[in-house]
């Protein structure tokens, strides 16, 4: 008999579904049976629950996180030719949202912790008075130093749109209290892509804001720019959340905080198991939260380690192999290799290892053992 082949995926949706299946099917059936399948009761319910959870006045459900970025930026007044700062080390749509509106992404390098370097942002804002907005990304679930960033932006009248697609539930310390990411800027966005910490079983996203004006504009932009059917005030989009996705999110939402705790616990297990000088583990800041959407380690021998783990049945991923300033589609921005050395180095060294709330300690032990084995064999 062959030995059992261990398989530990990077991410696993099926374990969670087994637990939630009965409730899920009931809720989805109710949603379809109601006869209203787009923007009905479930959408209203998830908007209200998330607004309360994040601590903002308005939550507006939209089709996906990428659209949420576009609708939020547009509602904040970003238009053709406007210069918007963001990080080159993020998912593609953070930057494409700017160009979809005809704006110009101004990339600023990240720090060693993967998040935008707020000190460099300050320098840029001071020297370039044409900057309209900044999109900080709480990458992998780790909050950006929003206290610092907000103080600079407030001082220079620069708007903030938080990309919290990976950081639902993560907190930052601002103005003497802990507040949730996506509640700190002029607006924030969430993605409910299936693999995100709160994921639907299809595409869905949300815009969060305390501004009545921004909220009202996002609400009309998601339905072709109209308050009233067939009366169009501006040219909008079709970007709505459907009832099936909203029903799924309503079922899952009750478990979110528990899942986040499990991720944080799993991350601390990894850091202990891997400890010492194997690979560089993510650090957790004292005054901010990291909700570990991904657990990303660093090593100069990333490609070899990845291959080794793949052969041992362990799923990994590279977030992100090509920083955005080097993407072909952004070549018109005229950036070149060497412009953002930290982002470029991280893109060569980072490796995400299996992370999801249901991962077991035994699985983590196996992953850590294989990483150590690799490091010892090859050193
Ligand atoms: C997932 C993600 C998005 C986009 O969300 P979609 O729902 O997939 O469109 C935007 N920004 C970041 C940082 C993301 O991780």
For ligand 1, say whether the CB of 181 is within 6 Å of any of its atoms: no
- Summarised one tens digit per residue, pLDDT across range 56-110 is 999 999 999 999 999 999 999 999 999 999 999 999 999 999 999 999 999 999 9
Q: Is 295 exposed, middle or buried (0-12, 13-18, 19+ CB in 10 A)?
A: buried
The pLDDT of residue 205 is: 98
Cα 190 to middle of ligand 1, angstroms? 8
379 CA from centroid of ligand 1 (Å): 37
Strands in 104-107's sheet, in edge-to-edge order, are 58-62, 205-209, 187-191, 159-163, 131-135, 83-86, 104-107
65 close to ligand 1 (CB < 6 Angstrom): yes
Which of residues 135 and 379 earns the better pLDDT score?
135
In whole angstroms, give the CA distance from residue 183 to residue 189.
9
Instruction: Give yes or no for residue 163 CB within 6 A of ligand 1.
Output: yes
Question: Ligand 1 center to residue 324 CA distance, Å?
Answer: 14
| Contacts (Cβ under 8 Å, ≥6 apart) of 92 | 324, 327
Please tell me the distance between residue 127's alpha carbon and the centre of ligand 1 in angstroms.
Answer: 30
**Partners of residue 162 on adjacent β-strands:** 188
Buried b / exposed e along 204-219 (16+ C-beta atoms within 10 A): bbbbbbbbeebbebbb
pLDDT class of 1 with cuts at 50, 70, 90: very low
Q: How confident is the model at residue 174 (pLDDT cuts 50, 70, 90)?
A: very high
What integer pLDDT is reported at residue 31 of this predicted model?
Answer: 97
**Ligand 1, from 11, 91, 105: best to mutate by most atoms within 8 Å of Cβ?**
91
Mutation choice for ligand 1 from 96, 140, 165, CB with most ligand atoms inside 8 A = 165
Query: Is residue 199 in contact with ligand 1, taking CB distance under 6 Å?
Result: no
Structural domain boundaries of the chain? 15-253, 255-377
The CATH classification number of 15-253 equals 3.40.640.10
**Which has the higher per-residue pLDDT, 286 or 251?**
251
**What pLDDT is stored for residue 285 in this prediction?**
84
- pLDDT by residue (tens digit) across 301-319? 999 999 999 999 999 999 9
Distance, CA 191 to ligand 1 centroid (Å)?
6
pLDDT band at 3 (very low <50, low <70, confident <90, very high): low
| C-alpha separations of 7 from 11, 104, 260 in Å | 11, 44, 23
- pLDDT (tens digit per residue) in 151-165: 999 999 999 999 999
| d(C-alpha 158, C-alpha 85), whole Å | 10
- For position 279, what pLDDT does the model report? 87
For tokens 């261990």, the residue is 6
| Confidence grade of residue 286 (pLDDT, cut at 50, 70, 90) | confident
pLDDT (mean) for 229-233: 94
DSSP 162: E
Q: Is 320 in the pocket of ligand 1 (CB under 6 A)?
A: no
Looking at CATH, the fold of the domain delimited by 255-377 is given as: 3.90.1150
pLDDT digits (tens, 9 = 90+) for 100-152: 999 999 999 999 999 999 999 999 999 999 999 999 999 999 999 999 999 99
DSSP helix/strand/coil, 284:
coil
* CA 164/CA 137 separation, integer angstroms: 6
Q: What is the pLDDT of residue 4?
A: 63
Distance 195 CA to ligand 1 centre (A): 10
For the beta carbon of residue 231, count every other beta carbon within 10 angstroms: 9
Residue-level pLDDT at 376: 87
CB 104 within 8 A of CB 260: no
Instruction: Please state, rounded to an integer, the average pLDDT across all residues of the chain.
Output: 96
By most ligand atoms within 8 Å of CB, the mutation choice from 138, 144, 191 for ligand 1 is: 191
**pLDDT computed for residue 379 by the predictor:** 62
State in Å: Cα 31 to ligand 1 middle. 26
């Amino acid at each position: 008999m062959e030995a059992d082949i261990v398989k530990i995926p990077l991410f696993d949706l099926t374990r969670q579904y087994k637990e939630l299946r009965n409730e899920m099917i009931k809720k989805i059936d109710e949603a379809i049976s109601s006869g209203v399948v787009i923007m009905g009761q479930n959408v209203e319910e998830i908007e209200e629950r998330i607004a309360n959870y994040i601590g903002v006045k308005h939550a507006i459900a939209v089709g996906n996180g990428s659209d949420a970025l576009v609708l939020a930026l547009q509602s904040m007044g970003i238009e053709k030719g406007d210069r918007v700062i963001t990080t080159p080390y993020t998912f593609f749509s953070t930057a494409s949202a700017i160009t979809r509106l005809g704006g110009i992404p101004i990339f600023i390098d990240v720090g060693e912790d993967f998040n935008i370097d707020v000190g460099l942002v300050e320098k840029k804002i001071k020297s370039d008075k044409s900057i309209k907005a900044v999109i900080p990304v709480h990458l992998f679930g780790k909050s950006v130093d929003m206290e610092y960033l907000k103080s600079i932006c407030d001082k220079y009248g620069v708007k903030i749109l938080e990309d919290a697609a990976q950081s639902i539930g993560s907190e930052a310390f601002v103005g003497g209290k802990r507040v949730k990411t996506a509640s700190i800027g002029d607006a924030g966005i969430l993605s409910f892509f299936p693999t995100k910490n709160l994921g639907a079983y299809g595409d869905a996203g949300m815009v969060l804001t305390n501004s009545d004006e921004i909220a009202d504009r996002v609400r009309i932009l998601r339905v072709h720019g109209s308050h009233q059917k067939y009366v169009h005030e501006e040219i909008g989009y079709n970007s709505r959340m459907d009832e099936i996705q909203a029903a799924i999110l309503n079922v899952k939402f009750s478990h979110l905080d528990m899942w986040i705790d499990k991720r944080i616990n799993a991350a601390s297990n990894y850091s202990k198991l891997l400890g010492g000088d194997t690979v560089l583990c993510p650090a957790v800041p004292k005054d901010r939260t990291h909700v570990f959407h991904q657990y990303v380690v660093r090593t100069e021998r990333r490609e070899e380690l990845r291959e080794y783990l793949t052969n041992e049945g362990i799923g990994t991923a590279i977030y992100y192999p090509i920083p955005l300033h080097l993407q072909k589609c952004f070549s018109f921005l005229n950036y070149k290799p060497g412009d953002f050395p930290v982002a470029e180095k991280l893109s060569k060294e980072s490796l995400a290892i299996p992370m999801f709330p249901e991962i077991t300690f035994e699985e983590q032990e196996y992953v850590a053992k294989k990483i150590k084995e690799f490091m010892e064999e090859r050193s």
